[in-house]
C-alpha cells in the first residue's frame, strides 16, 4: 500500500534559527528549528548526553539542568529561551581528570543510584539547592528531592547522600 | 547441573542453626561494638510518650534506625569480597553523564522512527493512507504490515486447548486492532520532530467493533470476542491441586473467611522508556540491534525468526539501561519493526518510546481479581485455601511467558509461607481490548500475598487472635517442606523474621502510639506481611509451568589475559542491579584477585553463547553461580600450569591471595598469574604435554529442582487523615533473608526500591480505561508515581539462611520488596479502619475510599464488606 518515499528527505523548507548557548562555560552556536527544546540541543546537537529525558512534560526531572544557577526542566524550554543564560549540565560536576565532586562521591557512597538514569537530574537539582541553601536540612532536602522521580531507589539514599554532602560542606566551611 | 550442596554450606540449614546464629547485622554490629542496635527504640518511644509521633517523611530521623552497617554481616572471612559493600563499579560513568543509554547512540545518518497507532480499542482496519505522511517534510519512509511482511511473535504453552489458547501478536497490526495504541505503521524521518509531523498526517479508517474493557465484561455470556479463536475471551484456564475432601473441610471448619479483591492495572515504569537503534553492517553481514532489553538473546531469537534471518545475522547489543522491572524482559514488537526498517532502508533507524506510549501502549501488569476463601480451626490453624483468580492480560500473550504468566504464578504459589493442608485453585487469563501485559516485578505475588495475608488478618479478627500470633501458628518452620502445591521450599527464616519484625515494632513503641492515637480520635494502624519468594527459577520450574521456551540456565565464560586480568561474560543483563560489581566480586574471590582485575561483559549476543538475561530475581542465583563455576574451572587450569612451573603436582598447590599459585605449606614457592599466562599465550612451547594454550573456561548453571526461596516480614505503620483521606506511612520495617548477601548495600537498595514500587501499587498507581477502552492516564499528571514525599524511609534488618546449592549461598533479592509491601500497607490501613467496621481490600486504596470509610463511623454503622454471603 505504501513504500519508501522516492524523494530524498524533504528537509529544505523547515525554518531554522541560529542559537548561541553558553553551556558549562563554553559558547556553542547551533542552527535549529525554533521548536527544538533545550534538552534535545544539549543531547543531540552538542553531544552532552548526560542530561536525560524521562517524560518530555516536565514531571520526572530527568532533564534537570541549571540555568543561571537554578534548576530548570530542559524539556520544557526551547533552546532559544536559554540564550543569554549560563547553562550547566551534569558533565560540569566532576574535575577535568574525571575526579568525582563531593556530591557525586556522596551519591556513590550512599548507593543513591541504581540504574543511574534519574541521577544527573537529581545531581543538578541538589547542586542548585545546596548552592542556594547551604544551611538546608533533611526535611527540606526531601521536599526538594520530591521534585524529581526515581523508580529504583525509593529516594531514601538520595536524600541521605545530599544531606551528607551538605553537612560535609558546612563542616569544611567551619574548619 | 544443580549441585546438591555447597560444600562450605553443607548442613547449615535454618533448622540446624541455633537461634543465636539468626541475628541481624545490627545485632552483630552491636556485639562487635561497631554500631548500635536501632537507636530509634528509646528516643522515639520517649517522643511519642510526649504525644508527638515522628513522621517518616519529616523529621522522623529518630524513628528510623540508621541503616545497619552492612559490612558487619557475619560469616565473612577477612579479605573476602562476597559480603562486602564495595563501591559500585557502575557509578563513576553514571554519575558523570558518561553512561551510554540507547538514546545516547547516534550513528551517522541515523533516522528516527515512530508509530502510527490505533486510536480505537477494537476495530477492523478498513484502510491506511500514508500518502500525506510521505509528503511531510523530513519523512523518509513509512511501512505497514503488508510492506514489511514480518513473522508474528508467537508465545506458547504446551497445554491442551481447554487450558491455553494460542494467539499471535503481529509486529504491525494487519486487519484488526485490539487496543488503543496498537502499532499500525512505522514512520521514518530524518529527525525526531519531523517524524511526529508525519504521524499527524496518517489517515486510518476503522470499522469499529464493540470493545471488551474489563475481565467481567470479557467473561460475560455473549461478550464480543477479542480473538476469534478464544471462546469466552479466555486464553488460560487451569484448575489445579483440588485436594480431595476440601469441600468437607470448609463445611466443618470453625472459621471460614473470604476475601474478594481487585488490584489495579499498573505500569512497571522504568524511568527510561523502551527504545532501539538498528543498523545493518555490511562488513559483518549483520543487523545490529541496540535495544534496552533485559533479555538480549531472546530478542535475537525472535527478531531472527520474524525477519527470516539466521541468528548469526542478528546481533543484539544492550547499552546502559534505565531500569526495566519486567517490562523489558519480553520481546517488543516495536524493536522488531525498527530492525526491519533499518534492513529495508540500509540506514540506521532509532526509535525512542515517548512517555505517552510507554504508559498506554507498552506492556502493563497486575490487574487481577481474586475470590478466595480460607478455613481455620478454632485455634487459628489454617485447614484449607480455595481461590479463583482472574487476570486481565489485555490484548496479546507476551513472549516467551504467554498470558499464563500471572495466573500460573498465582495458582502455583499461593499457599505462600504457610502450612496449608488442602488447596484448590482456578486460574484464568482473560483477554481484553487493553494494552497487553508482561511480567512486572513480583509477578502476581504482590497480589496473592496480599490476599493470603488479608485472609489471615480476617481470621484473626474473627477468632479474636492477635494477627501476628495467627501467622506464627501457621508459618512453615521445618525445612525442606513440600507443600500441598507440590513445591519444595528450601530453608528460610519465616518464623524468625516474623518474630524479629514484631519485636522491632513493639520496641519502638508503635503499639502504645496506636493506643494513644485512638484515645485522641486519630487513626493509626499496624500491618504485617510475611512471605517468601521463589528466586532463580530454573528450567525445571518453567517446564513445570509448561512453557515451550524455558528460560532457565545461564552460561558464563571467563578468560585470563597475559596481564593476569580476567574478562567474564554472563548471559544475565544488568539494568540497575549492579552486576558489574557483584558478579565480579564472586569471580575475584574464586581466583583471589583484586576486584579491579575482573571485568564483566554482558549484553552482546556476539560475545555470549546464549543467556536468559535478568528477571525473576535470577541473576545472582543462576548467573552468579555460572560465573563462580567458570572461575573455578579456570582455577583448575591455573593450578595445573602453576604446579608445572613450580616443578610439582597440581595436588600440591593452591591459589594464592592476590593472584598466583603457591605450594601448600611452602608459600614462598609461588608463581604469579602473569607468569602462568605467559606460558599459556606467549611461550606455549613451555606448556606441559597435552595442555592446550590459552586460559579460558566456560561453565553453566541451572536450577533443576524447585529453586530457592528468599523470605521476609514487613511491618508498616500508617495514619489515616480523616479530612483528606490521605494514608501517611509513619514507619516501615523490613526483616529480610536472601541468604548470603553478596553486596549488602545493593540488597538494601533492591529492598527499598522494591518497597517503593509496592507502596505505589497499594496507594497510588493505576491505569484506568473508559467504556470505550480509551486509557485515561496518558501522562505523569494522571499516572501518579510516588515521590520522596510519599515513600518513607525503610529500616532494613537482615537474617541469613544460606542457599544450599548456589555458589555463594545467595538467594535472589530483586523482587521481595515489591511483593511484601502491598499486603503490609493494606493490613495497616485496615487495622486503622478497624473501629469503623469497614474493610478495604481493593488496590490502589484511594483517598476517597479512606475518607468515606472514616466517615462511616463506628463498627455498628456499617456491615463488614466482603463477607455478606458467608
Ligand atoms: S524529561 Fe523533562 S521533566 Fe521529564
Ligand atoms: S536510579 Fe533508576 S530511576 Fe533512579
B292-B294-B298 Cα angle (round to 5): 100
pLDDT value at residue B551: 86
Please tell me the predicted confidence (pLDDT) of residue B171.
98
Residues linked to residue B430 through DSSP beta bridges, in sequence order: B234, B392
Cα separation, B457 vs B452, in Å, equals 9
Is pTM beyond 0.95? Reply is: no
What's residue B548's pLDDT? 86
Distance from CA of B354 to the nearest CA of A (A): 7
pLDDT higher than threshold 60 for residue B295:
yes
Model confidence at B856, in pLDDT bands (50, 70, 90)? confident
Continuous segment of H or E residues that includes residue B469: helix B467-472
Per-residue pLDDT for B57 more than 50?
Answer: no
Q: How far is CA B601 from CA A165, B94, B274, B558, B598, in A?
A: 33, 17, 22, 10, 10
Q: What pLDDT sits at residue B58?
A: 29
> What pLDDT, on the 0 to 100 scale, is given for residue B416?
96
Q: What is the pLDDT of residue B866?
A: 40
Pocket of ligand 2 (CB under 6 A): A 113-118, 150-153; B 271, 322-323, 576
Fold of B102-209+274-352: Aldehyde Oxidoreductase; domain 3 (3.90.1170)
Determine contact, residues B263/B367, Cβ cutoff 8 Å: yes
| Span from the CA of A67 to the centroid of ligand 1 (angstroms) | 15
Interface subset of B 711-750, CB within 8 angstroms of A: 745-746, 748-749
Residue B232 DSSP symbol: G
CA-based nearest distance A170→chain B, Å: 20
Would the CB of A125 count as within 6 Å of ligand 1?
Answer: no
Indicate the pLDDT class of residue B542, thresholds 50, 70 and 90.
Answer: confident
Write out the three cell numbers for B667: 608459600
Class for domain B368-539+705-858, per CATH?
A: alpha beta
CA–CA separation, B173 vs B169, rounded Å? Answer: 8
Determine which of A5-19, B68-82, B658-672, B836-850 has the lowest per-residue pLDDT on average: B68-82
Residue A175 grid cell:
574548619
ipTM of the complex: 0.95
Q: What is the pLDDT of residue B857?
A: 67
The answer to whether the CB atoms of B748 and A143 lie below 8 A apart is no
Residue B691's pLDDT is what?
93
B715-753: pLDDT as tens digits: 999 999 999 999 999 999 999 999 999 999 999 999 999
The reply to whether residue A56 touches residue B354, judged by beta carbons under 8 angstroms, is yes
Q: What is the pLDDT of residue B141?
A: 98
- The mean of the pLDDT values for chain B is 90
Say if A16-92 and A95-175 have the same CATH topology.
Answer: no
The average pLDDT across B655-673 equals 96
> Which helix (H) or strand (E) segment is B281 a member of?
strand B275-281
pLDDT of residue A38: 98
For residue B541, the model assigns a pLDDT of: 85
Is the pLDDT at B684 greater than 90, yes or no? yes
The answer to whether B152 and B302 are in contact (CB under 8 A) is no
Query: What is the predicted pLDDT for the residue at B53?
Result: 29
CATH of domain A95-175: 1.10.150.120
| Span of B39-43, B117-121, B804-808 with lowest mean pLDDT | B39-43
pLDDT, tens digit, 9 for 90 and up, residues B4-42: 333 233 322 332 233 333 333 333 333 333 332 232 333
- Mean per-residue pLDDT, B763-771: 97
Kindly report, as residue ranges, where domains of CATH 3.30.365.10 are found in chain B: 368-539+705-858, 553-701
Facing B147 at nearest CB: one of A2, A57, A94 = A2
CB of A147 shorter than 6 A to ligand 1? no
Q: What is the mean pLDDT of residues B776-802?
A: 97
Fold adopted by A16-92: Ubiquitin-like (UB roll) (3.10.20)
Split at pLDDT 50, 70, 90, the class of B293 is: very high
Atom of ligand 1 nearest to the CA of A76: 2
Q: How many residues does chain A have?
A: 175
Between B317 and B12, name the one with better pLDDT: B317
- DSSP string for residues in B488-520: EEPP--HHHHHHHHHHHHHHTTHHHHHHHHHHT
Question: Using one digit for the tens of pLDDT, what is the confidence trace for A107-139?
Answer: 999 999 999 999 999 999 999 999 999 999 999
pLDDT over 70 percentage in chain B: 89
Give the atom of ligand 2 at the shortest distance from the alpha carbon of B271. Answer: 3
Enumerate residues 6+ apart whose C-beta is below 8 A from B100. Answer: A49, B93, B319, B320
Domain residue spans of chain A: 16-92, 95-175
Given CA atoms B743, B745, B750, B754 in this order, what sign does their dihedral have?
positive
Report the C-alpha gap between B395 and B120 in whole angstroms.
Answer: 13
Ligand 2 binding pocket mutation candidate from A115, A124, A156, A157 (most atoms within 8 A of CB)? A115
Structure confidence at residue B76 (pLDDT): 61
A53 C-beta closer than 6 A to ligand 1: yes
pLDDT digits (tens, 9 = 90+) for B450-478: 999 999 999 999 999 999 999 999 999 99
pLDDT of residue B75: 53
The per-residue DSSP string of B189-210 comes to: ESSHHHHHHHHHT-EEEEEE--
CATH 3.90.1170.50 domain range(s) in chain B: 102-209+274-352
CATH 3.30.365.10 is the classification of domain B553-701: yes
The per-residue pLDDT for B705 is 86
pLDDT for A35-85, tens place per residue? 999 999 999 999 999 999 999 999 999 999 999 999 999 999 999 999 999
Residue B633 makes CB contacts below 8 A (sequence gap 6+) with B558, B697, B698, B699
Nearest CA in chain A to B59: A139
Residue B74 has a pLDDT of 46
Amino acid at each position: 500500500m505504501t513504500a519508501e518515499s522516492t524523494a530524498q528527505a524533504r528537509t529544505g523548507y523547515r525554518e531554522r534559527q541560529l542559537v548561541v548557548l553558553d553551556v558549562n562555560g563554553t559558547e556553542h552556536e547551533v542552527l535549529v528549528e525554533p521548536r527544538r527544546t533545550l534538552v534535545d540541543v544539549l543531547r543531540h546537537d552538542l553531544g552532552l548526553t548526560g542530561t536525560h529525558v524521562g517524560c518530555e512534560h516536565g514531571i520526572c526531572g530527568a532533564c534537570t539542568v541549571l540555568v543561571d544557577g537554578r534548576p530548570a526542566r530542559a524539556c520544557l524550554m526551547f533552546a532559544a529561551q536559554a540564550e543569554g543564560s549560563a547553562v550547566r549540565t551534569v558533565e560540569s560536576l566532576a574535575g577535568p581528570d574525571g575526579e568525582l565532586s563531593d556530591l557525586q562521591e556522596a551519591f556513590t557512597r550512599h548507593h543513591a543510584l541504581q540504574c543511574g538514569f534519574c541521577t544527573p537530574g537529581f545531581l543538578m537539582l541538589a547542586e542548585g539547592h545546596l548552592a542556594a541553601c547551604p544551611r538546608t536540612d533533611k526535611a527540606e532536602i526531601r521536599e526538594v528531592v520530591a521534585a524529581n522521580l526515581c523508580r529504583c531507589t525509593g529516594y531514601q539514599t538520595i536524600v541521605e547522600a545530599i544531606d551528607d554532602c551538605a553537612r560535609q560542606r558546612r563542616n569544611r566551611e567551619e574548619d | 547441573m544443580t549441585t546438591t550442596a555447597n560444600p562450605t554450606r553443607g548442613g547449615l540449614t535454618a533448622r540446624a542453626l541455633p537461634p543465636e546464629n539468626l541475628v541481624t547485622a545490627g545485632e552483630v554490629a552491636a556485639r562487635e561494638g561497631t554500631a548500635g542496635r536501632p537507636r530509634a527504640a528509646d528516643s522515639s518511644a520517649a517522643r511519642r510518650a510526649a504525644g508527638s509521633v515522628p513522621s517518616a517523611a519529616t523529621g522522623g530521623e529518630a524513628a528510623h534506625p540508621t541503616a545497619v552497617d552492612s559490612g558487619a554481616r557475619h560469616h565473612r572471612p577477612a579479605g573476602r569480597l562476597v559480603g562486602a559493600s564495595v563501591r559500585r563499579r557502575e557509578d563513576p560513568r553514571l554519575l558523570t553523564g558518561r553512561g551510554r543509554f540507547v538514546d545516547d547512540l547516534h550513528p551517522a545518518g541515523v533516522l528516527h522512527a515512530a508509530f502510527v497507532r490505533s486510536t480505537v480499542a477494537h476495530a477492523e482496519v478498513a484502510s491506511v493512507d500514508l500518502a500525506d505522511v510521505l509528503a511531510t517534510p523530513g519523512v523518509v519512509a513509512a511501512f505497514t504490515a503488508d510492506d514489511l511482511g514480518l513473522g508474528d511473535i508467537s508465545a506458547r504453552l504446551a497445554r491442551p486447548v481447554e487450558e491455553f489458547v494460542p494467539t499471535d501478536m503481529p509486529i504491525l497490526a494487519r486487519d484488526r486492532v485490539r487496543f488503543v495504541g496498537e502499532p499500525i505503521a512505522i514512520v521514518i524521518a530524518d529527525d525526531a520532530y519531523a517524524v511526529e509531523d508525519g504521524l499527524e498526517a496518517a489517515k486510518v479508517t476503522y470499522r469499529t467493533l464493540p470493545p471488551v474493557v474489563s475481565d467481567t465484561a470479557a467473561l460475560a455470556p455473549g461478550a464480543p470476542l477479542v480473538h476469534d479463536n478464544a471462546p469466552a475471551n479466555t486464553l488460560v484456564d487451569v484448575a489445579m491441586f483440588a485436594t480431595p475432601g476440601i469441600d468437607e473441610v470448609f463445611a466443618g471448619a470453625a472459621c471460614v473467611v473470604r476475601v474478594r479483591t481487585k488490584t489495579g492495572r499498573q505500569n512497571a515504569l522504568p524511568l527510561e522508556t523502551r527504545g532501539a537503534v538498528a543498523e545493518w553492517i555490511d562488513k559483518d553481514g549483520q543487523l545490529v540491534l541496540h535495544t534496552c532489553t533485559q533479555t538480549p538473546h531472546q530478542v535475537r531469537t525472535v527478531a531472527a525468526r520474524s525477519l527470516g534471518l539466521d541468528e548469526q545475522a542478528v546481533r543484539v547489543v544492550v547499552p546502559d539501561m534505565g531500569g526495566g522491572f519486567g517490562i523489558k524482559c519480553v520481546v517488543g514488537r516495536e524493536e522488531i519493526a525498527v530492525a526491519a526498517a533499518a534492513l529495508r532502508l540500509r540506514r540506521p533507524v532509532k526509535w525512542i518510546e515517548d512517555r505517552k506510549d510507554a504508559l498506554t501502549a507498552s506492556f502493563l501488569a497486575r490487574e487481577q481479581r481474586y475470590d478466595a476463601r480460607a478455613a481455620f480451626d478454632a485455634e487459628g490453624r489454617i485447614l484449607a485455601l480455595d481461590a479463583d483468580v482472574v487476570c486481565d492480560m489485555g490484548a496479546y500473550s507476551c513472549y516467551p511467558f504467554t498470558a499464563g504468566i500471572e495466573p500460573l504464578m498465582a495458582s502455583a504459589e499461593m499457599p505462600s509461607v504457610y502450612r496449608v493442608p488442602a488447596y484448590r485453585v482456578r486460574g484464568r487469563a482473560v483477554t481484553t481490548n487493553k494494552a497487553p501485559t508482561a511480567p512486572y516485578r513480583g509477578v502476581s505475588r504482590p497480589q496473592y500475598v496480599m490476599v493470603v495475608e488479608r485472609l489471615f488478618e480476617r481470621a484473626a479478627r474473627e477468632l479474636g487472635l492477635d494477627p501476628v500470633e495467627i501467622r506464627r501458628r501457621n508459618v512453615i518452620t521445618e525445612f525442606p517442606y513440600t507443600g500441598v502445591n507440590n513445591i519444595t521450599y528450601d530453608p528460610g527464616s519465616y518464623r524468625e523474621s516474623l518474630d524479629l519484625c514484631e519485636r522491632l515494632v513493639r520496641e519502638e513503641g508503635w503499639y502504645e502510639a496506636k493506643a494513644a492515637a485512638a484515645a485522641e480520635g486519630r487513626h493509626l494502624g499496624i500491618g504485617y506481611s510475611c512471605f517468601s519468594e521463589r528466586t532463580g527459577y530454573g528450567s525445571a520450574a518453567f517446564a513445570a509451568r509448561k512453557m515451550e521456551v524455558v528460560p532457565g540456565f545461564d552460561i558464563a565464560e571467563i578468560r585470563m589475559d597475559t596481564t593476569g586480568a580476567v574478562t567474564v561474560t554472563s548471559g544475565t543483563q544488568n539494568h540497575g542491579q549492579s552486576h558489574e560489581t557483584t558478579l565480579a566480586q564472586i569471580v575475584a574471590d574464586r581466583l583471589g584477585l583484586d576486584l579491579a582485575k575482573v571485568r564483566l561483559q554482558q549484553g552482546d549476543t556476539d560475545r555470549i553463547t546464549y543467556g536468559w538475561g535478568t528477571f525473576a530475581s535470577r541473576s545472582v542465583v543462576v548467573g552468579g553461580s555460572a560465573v563462580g563455576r567458570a572461575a573455578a574451572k579456570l582455577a583448575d587450569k591455573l593450578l595445573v600450569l602453576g604446579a608445572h612451573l613450580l616443578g610439582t603436582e597440581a595436588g600440591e598447590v593452591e591459589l594464592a591471595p592476590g593472584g598466583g599459585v603457591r605450594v601448600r605449606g611452602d608459600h614462598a614457592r609461588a608463581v604469579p598469574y602473569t607468569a602462568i599466562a605467559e606460558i599459556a599465550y606467549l611461550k606455549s612451547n613451555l606448556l606441559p604435554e597435552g595442555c592446550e594454550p590459552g586460559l579460558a573456561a566456560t561453565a553453566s548453571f541451572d536450577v533443576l529442582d524447585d529453586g530457592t526461596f528468599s523470605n521476609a516480614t514487613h511491618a508498616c505503620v500508617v495514619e489515616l487523615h480523616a479530612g483528606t483521606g490521605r494514608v501517611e506511612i509513619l514507619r516501615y520495617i523490613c526483616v529480610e533473608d536472601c541468604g548470603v548477601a553478596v553486596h549488602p548495600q545493593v540488597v538494601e537498595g533492591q529492598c527499598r526500591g522494591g518497597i517503593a514500587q509496592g507502596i505505589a501499587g497499594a496507594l497510588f498507581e493505576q491505569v484506568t480505561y473508559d467504556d470505550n477502552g480509551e486509557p485515561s492516564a496518558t501522562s505523569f499528571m494522571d499516572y501518579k508515581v510516588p515521590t520522596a514525599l510519599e515513600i518513607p524511609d525503610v529500616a532494613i534488618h537482615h537474617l541469613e539462611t544460606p542457599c544450599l546449592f548456589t555458589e555463594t549461598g545467595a538467594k535472589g533479592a530483586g523482587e521481595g520488596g515489591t511483593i511484601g509491601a502491598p499486603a503490609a500497607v493494606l493490613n495497616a490501613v485496615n487495622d486503622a479502619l478497624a473501629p469503623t467496621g469497614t474493610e478495604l481490600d481493593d488496590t490502589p486504596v484511594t483517598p476517597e475510599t479512606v475518607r468515606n470509610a472514616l466517615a462511616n463511623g463506628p463498627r455498628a454503622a456499617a456491615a463488614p464488606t466482603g463477607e455478606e454471603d458467608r
